Amino acid sequence: MSESAPTSGNGNGKAKGKLAIYWAASCGGCEISILGIDTKILDVAAAFDLVMCPCIADGKVRDIEKMADGEIDVCLFNGGIRTSEQEYMARLLRQKSKCLIAFGSCATEGCIPGLGNLHNRQEIFDNSYTSETHSTENPDNVRPQAVTEVPEGKLHLPIFYDTLKTLDQTVDVDYYLPGCPPESPRIWEAIEVLLSGNLPAKGATIGENTTVCDYCPRTRKNKKIKEFKRTWEVIPDDETCLLEQGLICAGLATRAGCGALCPQVNSPCIGCYGPNEGVEDYGARFLSALASVIDSEDPDEIDEIISKGIPDPIGTFYRFSLAGSLMRRGKRPAPAATSQ
Amino acid sequence: MSEQVFEPKIVGFLCNWCSYRAADLAGSARITHAPNVRIVRVMCSGRVDPSFVMKAFSLGADAVLIAGCHPGECHYIEQNYKAMRRFHMLRQTLKAMGVEEQRIQLVWASAAEGQQLAEAIDKMVDEVRQLGPLGWSGNWEENGERIQALEDIVKEHEQAMEVTA
């Protein structure tokens, strides 16, 4: 910090804003991507005081609790809501923030943690804590307990939910920034929009309104496919559309913003930027688009092509968006257990 | 009301040119069939976006029926083939979510096939009745612990705030 800089103000005479960055059920990649804006982080620091970011800065929950409502100008919230503690933080930050942004795929549509919605808490814990899983050693079958009695009193752990929720299924959200993670240049563009004060309508997704295909340099001719291939079954050529080569590429259903990075290195799009503008359900859109390239008019053959080529439809169509989809989860296999 | 029989709610998307007219014909010919299907007229079975079906399930439908012109007889030349491909893709996806196959059915009925459509509806209602209610949004509920846990966090934090350094 330069000596001449006042304790508040960014040199333009404007008072410094307050910025919070929080993570819930996420991997930390969003924070890395924020740091990826490189030296522009200094501009962010000039415009905002970072009041909370558990990944990269100090900042205590109790300090946030003491704030007045709406005292935080912008909160970038990444991660889905899987536990009671995360829901508490989402509610708290909503209350204290003027502008709450669902940041990244987890907060907007559930992302990979949302695939846990194919199971319930019991099943997830069984998988994580029983020695039946090869990587787990837990001979005493120790499980996390919501409440544990110790001589000093009661110890609490957050409750683990059966269903991961997206941020906007939990609290009111002002804007969305998609991507797993959002690409650093897109993050900077979003920050510029926020700093400009020229804000889009509430509920808008800050980003592109077109699909990955528009940025993909490959040539498309006539999409007709007799067989879907897995990535390991074929070495694609560099020129032709990957979908036309039989690979399941999600570019046609996925919002642009990444610059079509994956198809440019022979790897099909997996849909991390979520649905394009106006699409209510990403998976429905993707499967609908993909179904229309199947080159068959015979129901049995169609079924065969699908079951052979797409053994895991949820992982294919809803890899990033199950929790945020219309169905939100798989059928719950058993009634929720009454205790952890 | 001594015995409650489960009456499934079924949403039916019927195409304007064949199957909706078949339903009309069934009506004017006074063919009786189960009243469980709520019919939504669409211009073509190819208009049925998979998200319509998922929305129906998430809003409480027990089953969804899609009906269109016979293959080769589509008013829009080949859109019912698109409906067919989409239907198979959708059915496999829903199956992976735990929705039984009988809960989503594709039926072809020409404008003259009121009887056949009525029979298909009766058969579907019977099948779904045996499966029982779907109640999809019930899958999203957490049990009562959630509210308690959230209240506990607030209480704990309030107590912690009272401690002076």
Q: To which H or E segment does residue A156 belong? A: strand A153-156
Return the pLDDT at A130.
86
Chain B residues whose CB is inside 8 A of the A158 CB are: 149, 153
Residue, of A261 and A152, whose pLDDT is higher: A261
> Taking 80 as the threshold, does the pLDDT of residue A217 lie above it?
yes
Give the pLDDT band (50/70/90) at residue A15.
confident
What percentage of chain A reaches a pLDDT higher than 70? Answer: 94
Return the pLDDT at A10.
47
Return the pLDDT at A57.
87
Examine residue B1 and state whether it is found in any structural domain, yes or no: no
Give the pLDDT band (50/70/90) at residue A156.
confident
Examine residue B2 and state whether it is found in any structural domain, yes or no: no
Q: Same structural domain for residues A229 and A297?
A: yes
Cβ distance B89 to A288 less than 8 Å, yes or no, reads yes
Section A275-292 average pLDDT? 96
> Taking 80 as the threshold, does the pLDDT of residue B13 lie above it?
yes
**How close A94 comes to chain B (CA, Å)?**
15
- Tell me the pLDDT tens digit for each residue of A91-107: 999 999 999 999 999 99
Q: Same structural domain for residues A63 and A22?
A: yes
Examine residue A331 and state whether it is found in any structural domain, yes or no: no
**How close B144 comes to chain A (CA, Å)?**
9
Contacts of A89 (CB under 8 A, 6+ apart): A22, A24, A61
Q: Same structural domain for residues A26 and A173?
A: yes
Examine residue B83 and state whether it is found in any structural domain, yes or no: yes
Contacts of B164 (CB under 8 A, 6+ apart): none
Does the complex come out with an ipTM higher than 0.90?
A: yes
Rg (CA), chain B: 22
Beta strands in chain B (DSSP E): 10-15, 37-42, 63-68, 104-108
* Residue from B58, B97, B131, B141 whose CB has the most chain A CBs within 10 Å, to mutate: B97
- Tell me the pLDDT tens digit for each residue of B127-157: 999 999 999 999 999 987 899 899 989 988 8
- With tokens 């991660």, the residue in question is A79
Residue, of A2 and A112, whose pLDDT is higher: A112
Residue, of A145 and A11, whose pLDDT is higher: A145
Mean pLDDT rounded to a whole number for chain A: 91
Dist CA A45 CA A183 (whole Å)? 19
Return the pLDDT at A99.
96
- Tell me the pLDDT tens digit for each residue of B81-120: 999 999 999 999 999 999 999 999 999 999 999 999 999 9
Q: Same structural domain for residues A76 and A186?
A: yes
Helix (H, G, I), strand (E, B) or coil at A161: strand
- B6, B129 contact by CB (below 8 A): yes
Q: Same structural domain for residues A86 and A39?
A: yes
Closest to A41 measured CA to CA, from A58, A19, A60, A23 = A19
> Taking 90 as the threshold, does the pLDDT of residue B6 lie above it?
yes
**How close A288 comes to chain B (CA, Å)?**
6
Chain B residues whose CB is inside 8 A of the A85 CB are: 153
Section A310-323 average pLDDT? 97
CATH code, domain with A61: 3.40.50.700
Give the pLDDT band (50/70/90) at residue A336.
very low
Examine residue A137 and state whether it is found in any structural domain, yes or no: yes
Give the pLDDT band (50/70/90) at residue A12.
low
Q: Same structural domain for residues A46 and A137?
A: no
Number of compact structural domains in chain A: 3
Chain B residues whose CB is inside 8 A of the A338 CB are: 143, 145
Return the pLDDT at B33.
95
> Which of B89, B136, B160 faces A287 most closely, judged by CB atoms?
B89
Number of compact structural domains in chain B: 1
Q: Same structural domain for residues A153 and A167?
A: no
Exposed, middle or buried: residue A190 (CB in 10 Å: 0-12, 13-18, 19+)? buried
Largest Cα–Cα separation, chain B:
85
Cβ distance A330 to B97 less than 8 Å, yes or no, reads yes
What single string gives the DSSP state of each residue in A60-72?
-HHHHHHSPTT-E
Q: Same structural domain for residues A240 and A293?
A: yes
Q: The pTM is what?
A: 0.92
Helix (H, G, I), strand (E, B) or coil at B103: helix
Return the pLDDT at A167.
98
Chain A residues whose CB is inside 8 A of the B97 CB are: 118, 314, 327, 329-331
Examine residue A327 and state whether it is found in any structural domain, yes or no: no
Helix (H, G, I), strand (E, B) or coil at B134: coil
Give the pLDDT band (50/70/90) at residue A7.
very low
Examine residue A90 and state whether it is found in any structural domain, yes or no: yes
* Residue from B49, B88, B99, B105 whose CB has the most chain A CBs within 10 Å, to mutate: B88
Examine residue A151 and state whether it is found in any structural domain, yes or no: yes
Examine residue B148 and state whether it is found in any structural domain, yes or no: yes
Helix (H, G, I), strand (E, B) or coil at B67: strand
Pairs of CB atoms within 8 A across A/B: 132
> Taking 90 as the threshold, does the pLDDT of residue B163 lie above it?
no
Minimum CA–CA partner of B53 in chain A: A284
Examine residue A10 and state whether it is found in any structural domain, yes or no: no
Domain that holds residue B122: 10-162
Helix (H, G, I), strand (E, B) or coil at A300: helix
User: If contacts are CB pairs under 8 Å, which of residues 70-109 in chain B contact chain A?
Assistant: 71, 81-82, 84-86, 88-90, 92-94, 96-99
Cβ distance A326 to B54 less than 8 Å, yes or no, reads yes
> Taking 90 as the threshold, does the pLDDT of residue A134 lie above it?
no
Dist CA B93 CA A275 (whole Å)? 18
Chain-centroid distance, C-alpha A59: 23
> Which of A162, A287, A338 faces B50 most closely, judged by CB atoms?
A287
Closest to B33 measured CA to CA, from B22, B42, B43 = B22
Return the pLDDT at B98.
96
Residue, of A335 and A221, whose pLDDT is higher: A221
> Which of B53, B55, B92 faces A313 most closely, judged by CB atoms?
B92
Chain B residues whose CB is inside 8 A of the A156 CB are: 152-153, 156
What percentage of chain A reaches a pLDDT higher than 90? Answer: 82
> Taking 90 as the threshold, does the pLDDT of residue B69 lie above it?
yes
Return the pLDDT at A56.
87
Chain A residues whose CB is inside 8 A of the B140 CB are: 163, 328-329
Return the pLDDT at A13.
54
Cβ distance A62 to B149 less than 8 Å, yes or no, reads no
Return the pLDDT at A131.
73
| Strands A81-83, A160-165: pairing kind | antiparallel
Section B24-52 average pLDDT? 97
Which runs of consecutive H residues, i.e. helices, occur in chain A?
Answer: 29-35, 40-47, 61-66, 84-96, 104-109, 111-114, 121-129, 184-196, 261-264, 282-291, 299-309, 313-317
Dist CA A126 CA A334 (whole Å)? 14
CA dihedral A161, A77, A127, B148 (to 10 degrees): -20
Domain that holds residue A257: 212-317
Examine residue A259 and state whether it is found in any structural domain, yes or no: yes
> Which of A84, A118, A338 faces B150 most closely, judged by CB atoms?
A84
Tell me which of A196-200, A299-303, B44-48, B127-131 is least confident.
A196-200
What letter would DSSP give residue B55? H
Section A317-339 average pLDDT? 83
Q: Same structural domain for residues A91 and A225?
A: no
Q: Same structural domain for residues A58 and A128?
A: no
Give the pLDDT band (50/70/90) at residue A323.
very high
What single string gives the DSSP state of each residue in A100-119?
EEEEHHHHHH-HHHHGGGGS
Minimum CA–CA partner of B72 in chain A: A297
**How close A291 comes to chain B (CA, Å)?**
5
Return the pLDDT at B165.
53
Q: How far apart are the first and last CA of chain B?
A: 67
CATH code, domain with B140: 3.40.50
Examine residue A11 and state whether it is found in any structural domain, yes or no: no
Q: Same structural domain for residues A310 and A275?
A: yes
Examine residue B4 and state whether it is found in any structural domain, yes or no: no
Q: How far is CA A307 from CA A202, A228, A302, B89, in A?
A: 41, 10, 9, 9
Examine residue B40 and state whether it is found in any structural domain, yes or no: yes
Dist CA B23 CA B115 (whole Å)? 9
Return the pLDDT at A5.
37
Give the pLDDT band (50/70/90) at residue A1.
very low
Q: Same structural domain for residues A235 and A93?
A: no
Tokens for A37, please give them. 């804006």
Examine residue B139 and state whether it is found in any structural domain, yes or no: yes
Return the pLDDT at A340.
46
Give the pLDDT band (50/70/90) at residue B78.
very high
Exposed, middle or buried: residue A126 (CB in 10 Å: 0-12, 13-18, 19+)? middle
Return the pLDDT at A334.
55
